[in-house]
Structure 1
């Protein structure tokens, strides 16, 4: 007998769970739209060559590819060593690659600075484990066509406002710049061809500490003098982390020699976020923390990168960055772009939202002998008043029926007998 379970790494959602997820998504959509972003939709499938164009980093290895139609056994054997010959389409593994393709296709119909919302499922051939799924929802906002720090600031402000609306206030944004990381490694003396591997090790700093990072770099065979210089930098006396976000904090966290323009861009982001959040007026610091060792693994990031940190959890609740080179792969000319994604599957279990402020949700419990025409007329009368209505035949276990209805979000019930009119039915609260 075939299994009735969903595929590994994918989930079914019962009505109450689905309703809860939709309430959280509704808040996210509403706050994003309030900040001037417009929602788009792209297909779940993209061409294989586009998904494997070298812009998706390690996620390209996790793509679900779709076998070309019409291949016979001989054709499959002949193409066994070439994915591109076996597959012409694939399920999207993120929303950024489809957005880049969308913009390249529709740029003539879009404003010069386009602010997009994408909220949709994506698929990755992950090894299923706790908190890691093969199908999950991403909530992305992006600004395309603005190279200034205003773009990052708009994304950060909209994201923090959305978290506040979900009851997850108190979040901070860790921020860095991939150009600053590269400049730092150059200052220490790491050759250009070693830097991608060095960044992979630096990304483990929170887990293995400075000694562990230095040891791993030596095992990897990184330039010895560069490792020594980097290790000395990691263990130097520090005080800059106590400074408010701004020029002094950033420079205290970086070695000498990083381009002033990079620092100025980050400072501009902080000033704009501070003004929007009213930090100065309220007497508290802007919710930004410069982290010179924030890496983020996506290979397409070209500038600013950021992650959401919240005191209630040890893991990031989302992140993003600037990817100025991606659209140029499809368009033939570079277009500035930056995006921020909330980790929906991570936050949905942290959020406590009550039922939406909607009209009553009523269960009409009827006897077996009530004519169908009467039931449907009565239901229509409640619906016309704005209520949500479910018809349920009375069972011996009425308590169990009502408990299930409560779990499904219903707030009231009424019993219905034959001949009852709308005025004869008075719902009672559930629970």
Structure 2
């Protein structure tokens, strides 16, 4: 059944009532979140064993970097096509297969005899992990009411920060106690067990109407050429992509350079600086959750307020980080930087919720993949690199004093999106019942 663009379109699910029992919906979230932790733990465990691999195989730093970079490369290249395939073929099957691929590949890394085999294993880890984030969040959002989207999206995306910290810390402990091979092996076994549980508990049949595959109103069966333009069919959805990506620029720059900042300006040893940076990563993830919760609570009767929360987080990060990095080293500086870090990525949940609201349910995973690409191209990739270039010219502190200015672009994008939201919802005919309950959309 094709998509309609009139105001009479029936939404695939009620914005107020979950499509499945609440207890089952939270079980789906817990298992999906667990697999996301496994995803990032399998990806980041390598960083914990760099010194051991370098000593045993006499690897260069360039070779070590390639073992990490190949995963990110495959994720970037394959996220969109694999997400689109999952939307058309079945999201649950795709998630289970993806988890098994990255888990088996991680086990392969555990038995690698040299650099070549390890590189192949890491290549397959990237293939398996490529679309999990976008497809997983699409599944999670499909089983909950619309009013919880920012909370769930923020919490799910925060799993990347938590999984990264767990991968490095747990992997380091295992490698020190039992050797680097066991660090990979434990991560792989954990992922396989969780994938098997997921396949038994979460099925397309049990999701029922929550699955786009079973919803005639979601656009299922429509030609891909008809669905894909809807990913960019409104000003507000494009603004959500841009705003989210620019805020990720700041968040990733902070996380990448925080160990060096603590080492250079607080005279912390590398190990202690790394631990401190891990704390900032947890703060960033916590901010995604908290800001998502705030956005959903404030927008219970006025959905457009999610945009307001995103604007506030963006401007808040600008003021807090600019002020913090201009202060002398000390507890007050760290407190302001930590608070700025808390809200810098807090736009992730509201932005994802807006993307989900403004795109067809049948291509929800593809829409999340598009958001992921925007985050990567505008933020995750250039953030650390541009900060490094600036640091070479004006010192690291000078660079970190300039980077928060990027939040101005995010604030402008979210503001434009807010003022376009009402018109775009009515034109696209998406969630009209939600729009009618929203005071701002009646004015």
Taking structure 2 as the reference length, the TM-score comes to 0.22
Higher helix share goes to which structure?
Answer: 2
Higher strand share goes to which structure?
Answer: 1
Higher relative contact order (CA 8 A, sep 6+): 2
The structure number with the bigger radius of gyration is 1
